[in-house]
Structure 1
Amino acid sequence: MKRNIYSYLIMLIFGGLMLSSMVSCEDLDEGSLGAVSGDSFYADELSLESGVTGMFGLMNRACWGVDILAAYTGADDLTTHNGGNKWVFREGDTFALTGGNGRTIGIWNAYYRAINAANTFIEKAHPEGVDEAVVNNTLANAYFVRALLYFRLTTVFGDVPLPLTSSPDYEMLKTPSREVITQVISDLKFVEQWAVNARDTDVSVVDGHATKTAAKAFIAKAYMQLTGWPYGETDKWADVKSYTKQIIDANVYSLMDDYMHNFGEPWENNKEIIFAHQYKRQPWPISGESRWYGAFWAAWMDMFIEWNFYSGFPDGYRKNATTSTTSVDAITYAHPVNTKLLYGTIQGRPEFLHTWQSHNDVAAMRYAEVLLMYAEACANTGAEADAINYLNMVKRRAYAGGATTSDEVAALGAGFWEDADASVDYTAAQLSSKQAIIDAIVKERAYEFVSEIGGNRWLDLVRLEKVGTVNALRDSREVPLVGDPNNKALWYAPIPETEIDLNPNL
């Protein structure tokens, strides 16, 4: 699916069908294709698959750039430079997000477009004469798109509108975040039941459709968010543990030996990637590229690493792959460069370091996240030894035996991270309490997933109520804070002003 899921020629045809009614109240030129009825369009398996392709195209288009990071920069990992057009990221970094922030407006509008497409598909994609299992498999993809985007919307904005049909309601009220997550879990359980994808048993299969494994991983992530603020449902740790253990016990996915191989060609669709937004750079006018990885150096760079975060970053291969203080740009902008976002398309070609639009997929769920969710669930359910064991696997891979190059990592041998390493491993004596184990896991998550679309560092700080704590340690070289990071009302981005103007109920 990698090479056709993001074909915008197909997406534009589908978009004409799906965009005729929007939750976001925008004036759209429907065009002649927009008048085609979904009831008549979905007539067979081929038309169902065309619908899925277009729906994923809308979702991936919504996720092609780093817009959502504007809502995550209140964490202690990411910052931007103090100039140019970066005010949209500085607002988040200084706890001063407004309803006019172009980046959060962008994700709001784009996510709701894709959700509306999913809602329309769920309503209309029921052709006569097609086997129920086939129909439900295609529907599972729509439920997956809707669930993933609603989860991100509610963790960014809090209470949000929750339309589940394609009919616009211009007076819709906000739905409490807890109810949104309930719907997310319900949708993902449909995916868990009905998705059919060979990648669930064979990771060599290249298929970007929804999978049962991805559904389980995101169910676990949703439950994990419920364990902390503002929900406090600590009983959900049992669910996190159950769903992640199912993935581990299936013995299908695994860590890549080389951390860097999760973020660029030719290693995409690898054994660690459980779900990724998939892209392919195409000649104009087809717009199928990613603008997440493969950023320009210099003035075009949006994201840098905060100084305190850099100082605490454990030395080793992962740190070297993620950040640098020696480049010209690090010196110019007085922050460590986020080299993880600079991976280009194919190593050795000029655009590897100097491109803006790349083929690079955007990993949304990796096996490393499953391991660390399981570890934290173990720590919270009395299985401390298991928690330390799975934490150490990720830590060993990050350090990579002191390797500094991919060739040196390869020389360590396949699966080196499965074997105990006294120079790296935490011991029970070092992590002698439940809280010590949890703190170590949360720290590992911070550095493992920095600047990835899942926003794990921000989500962790929110659920653990540590946003104010980490910002109290903010380095004096950072842009001064505007808002108070202890003010929990500022932990959510404001709903776009344009939406409130159109619907004061929001």
Structure 2
Amino acid sequence: MKRIHTIYKTLVAAAILLGLASCEKLDEGSDGVVASATFYSDENTLDAGIIGIYGTLRRNTWGLDNYSHFSGADDLTSRLGSNKWVVLESDQFAKTAGNSWATNDYNGNYQAILACNSYIADAHPEDVEEAVLNAAHANAYFIRGLCYFRLATSFGDVPMPLDPIPDLELSLTPKREVMAQVIKDLEFAVKWAVNDRDSNPMVSNGRVSRTAAKAFLAKTYMQLTGYPYNETDKWERVKELTGEIISDGVYSLTDDFAHSFQDPHQINKEVIFAHIMSRESWPIITQNRVYGFRWANWMDLYMEWTYFNNFPEGYRKEFSTATEGNQFFDEFQNPVVTKYTWGTRAPNSTDPVDHVFEHTWQTSNDRIAMRYAEVLLMHAEASANLGDLDTALEELNMVKRRAYAKGATKQAEVASLEPGFWMTADPEIDYTLAELSTPELMIDAIVNERAYEFLGEISGNRWLDLVRLEKVAEANAGRDSREVPLIGDPSDKNLWFTPIPATETTLNPNLN
């Protein structure tokens, strides 16, 4: 599956035209471009189509657009004025159908979905072994499942095209049916994906692996355990899937929390799946604007004060946050997120506030979508829900120890710690069973750890946790008076999902 670097540019360009530029079937002989069903003639063209689909996905995940859904949580906010209203709508519980970031996110996901639909329908070249064909299709099913998960958890009921020809009169599909399709697509990927990263995480490969498919499948089932589905029987499946990843022993926490966010290619034992970015990658332009100046100099997003004040002390907080000595804090008076201010090259300094960039506002730094820490905490929460408090406690403490890093504040200090220090009990930082003696107490501690471990990471983990646990209003009850004032009521569940963009409902009234 490493053929991405050896396919001729002409094949890649053809794949772009077939999978990206249009989701309609092209007529044979139209200016040298053939119908997609005709294009897929052998294993090389099969692979070229997958390259094109990943290009579509990554071009549409390189901005901050999906944060427009998630700032109603208690972690992220923005500032008044300028063009920050696209973030503040969610933060103030006043989402509208005219939000440009939400519209971009909606359109981008559907562009990738329609490219996947075309590939699944048409990429069936003769004389290609079934196992090879299914391994290639596993990528399309995985991407489609991932996109539908993001759409259903952000917008709720959404149209669910599964055909390559767009239906301009398609109606909304209930979100539970969409989640069922997510499960079906990810299960195909679990069964058929072929990727060296299933045995060696140090391999650079942005394709789907069985490990990644299992992790996202577990995340889907976990979302079903709470609001608005409340299918608590799904915890067994969450524990099973994450337990398989843990028992495989291929992935693990890194000793340095910061490392995953500094490495421009996210090649380490913790990153299970990342959207691979490259600033110079014609014809697939996938440069990343989530990292770099979006956080360092443009400052679209900040932290809320209550969240910052409650952030557990230690290395993770030192790396992820800043107040003193930051010009944007001095100007706007909200804590600054420094976790994503790394450019393509890691800085020479060990100071987590001092950064060096290869590019000004675009970077080749990959965008992490799934880390082993998330697998570990999903397994811990499933264990707690199923009454296995011993397992939950140890896994929770592993993440907590790594975050605290023996009280280190600099990378040089973390580097001097014993490798795997987070696997050894630490009475100074560990929770005990006496403290977390019930499933409820244990789950609260796990969810709290997730709140700080995944600050600002893709798909809005904090927001999804608050929704599924129906704690949106509770989290906003402690809102600091310095934050922008609320407009809507956080307890109104109708405000938890983003409206379908007006650009879509105007064209298709069936989406109202």
TM-score (ref. length: structure 2): 0.93
Relative distance call for 1:98 and 1:34 in structure 2 (3 A) is farther
Q: Where do 5+ consecutive residues of structure 1 fail to align?
A: none
* 1:105 matched to 2:110: no
Give the match for residue 445 of structure 2. Answer: 440
User: Which letter maps to 1:379?
Assistant: A
Conservation of the 8 A alpha-carbon contact between 1:223 and 1:239: yes
User: Which letter maps to 2:446?
Assistant: I
Provide the secondary structure at the position in 1 that maps to 2:368. Answer: strand
User: Which letter maps to 1:39?
Assistant: A
Partners of 1:126 and 1:215 in 2: CA distance: 22
Q: 1:251 aligns with which of 249, 256, 259?
A: 249
Alpha-carbon displacement from aligned partner over 1:34-55 (angstroms, at most 9, x marks no partner): 9521111111111111111110
Conservation of the 8 A alpha-carbon contact between 2:7 and 2:48: no
Tell me by how many angstroms 1:14 deviates: 2.4
Tell me by how many angstroms 1:348 deviates: 3.0
Give the match for residue 40 of structure 2. Answer: 42
Alignment of 1:342-353 (within 5 A): 342-348=341-347, 351-352=356-357
Alpha-carbon displacement from aligned partner over 1:317-373 (angstroms, at most 9, x marks no partner): 000111101111111111001101211111237743983111111110000000000
Alpha-carbon displacement from aligned partner over 1:211-252 (angstroms, at most 9, x marks no partner): 100111011000000000000100000000000000000000
Alignment of 1:72-471 (within 5 A): 72-266=70-264, 268-282=266-280, 287-296=285-294, 300-326=298-324, 327-348=326-347, 351-352=356-357, 355-471=360-476
**Aligned-pair RMSD on alpha carbons?**
2.3
- In percent, how many aligned pairs have the same letter? 54
Count of residues in Structure 1 that have an aligned counterpart in Structure 2 = 501
Alpha-carbon displacement from aligned partner over 1:282-336 (angstroms, at most 9, x marks no partner): 2898733100111256761111010000000000000011110111111111100
Relative distance call for 1:31 and 1:369 in structure 2 (3 A) is farther
Partners of 2:29 and 2:99 in 1: CA distance: 30
Once the two structures are overlaid, the 10-residue window that deviates more, 405-414 or 236-245, is 405-414
Conservation of the 8 A alpha-carbon contact between 1:200 and 1:213: yes
Relative distance call for 1:53 and 1:84 in structure 2 (3 A) is same
Partners of 1:125 and 1:180 in 2: CA distance: 24
Once the two structures are overlaid, the 10-residue window that deviates more, 164-173 or 116-125, is 164-173
Relative distance call for 1:99 and 1:2 in structure 2 (3 A) is farther
Partners of 2:474 and 2:398 in 1: CA distance: 28
Relative distance call for 1:298 and 1:273 in structure 2 (3 A) is closer
Tell me by how many angstroms 1:264 deviates: 2.5
Relative distance call for 1:4 and 1:468 in structure 2 (3 A) is farther
User: Which letter maps to 1:423?
Assistant: E
Conservation of the 8 A alpha-carbon contact between 1:39 and 1:124: yes
Q: Where do 5+ consecutive residues of structure 2 fail to align?
A: 349-354
User: Which letter maps to 1:342?
Assistant: T
Once the two structures are overlaid, the 10-residue window that deviates more, 255-264 or 243-252, is 255-264
Conservation of the 8 A alpha-carbon contact between 1:2 and 1:206: no
User: Which letter maps to 2:182?
Assistant: V
Alignment of 1:19-30 (within 5 A): 19=20, 21-22=22-23
Provide the secondary structure at the position in 1 that maps to 2:509. Answer: coil
Provide the secondary structure at the position in 2 that maps to 1:231. Answer: coil
TM-score (ref. length: structure 1): 0.95
Provide the secondary structure at the position in 1 that maps to 2:382. Answer: helix
Relative distance call for 1:5 and 1:313 in structure 2 (3 A) is farther
Partners of 1:336 and 1:87 in 2: CA distance: 19
Provide the secondary structure at the position in 2 that maps to 1:300. Answer: coil
